[in-house]
Amino acid sequence: MKKRNLIFIVTLMIAAAFAFNTSLALAKDMTKEDFEKEALKHITTISVAEAKALFDKGGVTFLDVRTEKEYKKGHIPGAKNVPRGKLEYDIGKDIPDTNAPIVVYCKTGGRSCLGTYTLVRMGYKNLKSMDGGWKAWTKAGYPID
């Protein structure tokens, strides 16, 4: 009976080690582009013109996920700043309503894509990621603070 238990335990340990190493290898092989591609399957993106129409209509929170330093250099008027690196920790304080309409933006669209996907996974339901980000907004000549 002891030999049988020992074989069972060793088999479980080998299986666990294999599963652990396999999952690490898969994660290690992903690039930022891979992460963005995966996120895009689960979020809604809008053009800068569509974001401007929502801005003009009102009732939408613009969420800037750039760094505080980037935000201070200029941002969409009224936008809340929760840097991508603090998003999971601070969003509940800044935007506690998971049904609130939110447009997420960053410099060019990568961080906002990933940030929007993070918020989807946290239960936020009415999200859009602005394609082209801050660069597209300013290039279009839209208002800035």
Burial of 123-142, coded b for 16+ CB within 10 Å and e otherwise, reads: ebeebbbbbbbbebbeeeeb
Question: Residue length, the chain?
Answer: 145
For residues 32 and 89, give the distance between their C-alpha atoms in angstroms, rounded to a whole number. 22
Residues 6+ apart with CB under 8 A from 131: 45, 46, 47, 48, 109
Contact 108, 133 (CB under 8 A): yes
Any idea which residues carry the catalytic annotation?
A: 106
DSSP 1: -
